[in-house]
Amino acid sequence: MNSPSIQTLTFLFDNKTDHILLNQIAINGPSKRKHSGIPGEPGFHEDINSAAIRSIFEATSLEVQQVILRGVVKTIYENDQECIIYFVYESGRFKGELKNNLPGRLKWVDILNIFNLEIETVTREIMPNLLDGESFFEGTLILDKEYQIVSSDIRICNSI
């Protein structure tokens, strides 16, 4: 197995309209056209919290005032033995004008309609915990070559 990589996955909430900002993935592969949070990767000398804030700005041009760590999920891809550890953040504190700086499409989605969309596997698995707005979760997902879940052990660690 390769050394694990660390990534952030951040979700912005517009609490006034009950919408969540999602990225519709454009990169070829099993996740193409599916929806996910805003991805990010920490720089070598950057803390993970700052990486999430920077990644949001680079992807959306929105200035985030604060992010809250909601979970940590280790994802193992069986086919190529890749392992990604996702630090999952959320924020409802941002300002600016939304601009799409990612390959794909950024869009605000009504929270009540989120499960009517095709959602990327990791995002789909963590979304119920993310939407409860209170819990911190952690766990491990094992995915096959089509990014379908072979095993899931996501659990709530405590309530905020």
How confident is the model over 96-145, as pLDDT tens digits? 999 999 888 999 999 999 999 999 999 999 999 999 878 899 999 999 98
Q: What is the mean pLDDT of residues 75-98?
A: 92
The model's pLDDT over 46-64, given as tens digits with 9 standing for 90+, comes to 999 999 999 999 999 999 9
Domains observed in the chain: 5-159 (3.90.79.10)
Torsion angle, CA of 10/13/14/19, rounded to 10 degrees? 110
pLDDT over 80 (residue 159): no
Pair of tokens at residue 94: 């941002």
How far apart are the C-alpha atoms of 148 and 97, rounded to whole Å?
35
The chain-wide mean pLDDT, for the chain, equals: 92
How far apart are the C-alpha atoms of 42 and 139, rounded to whole Å?
21
Q: What is the mean pLDDT of residues 7-30?
A: 93
Q: What is the mean pLDDT of residues 65-82?
A: 90
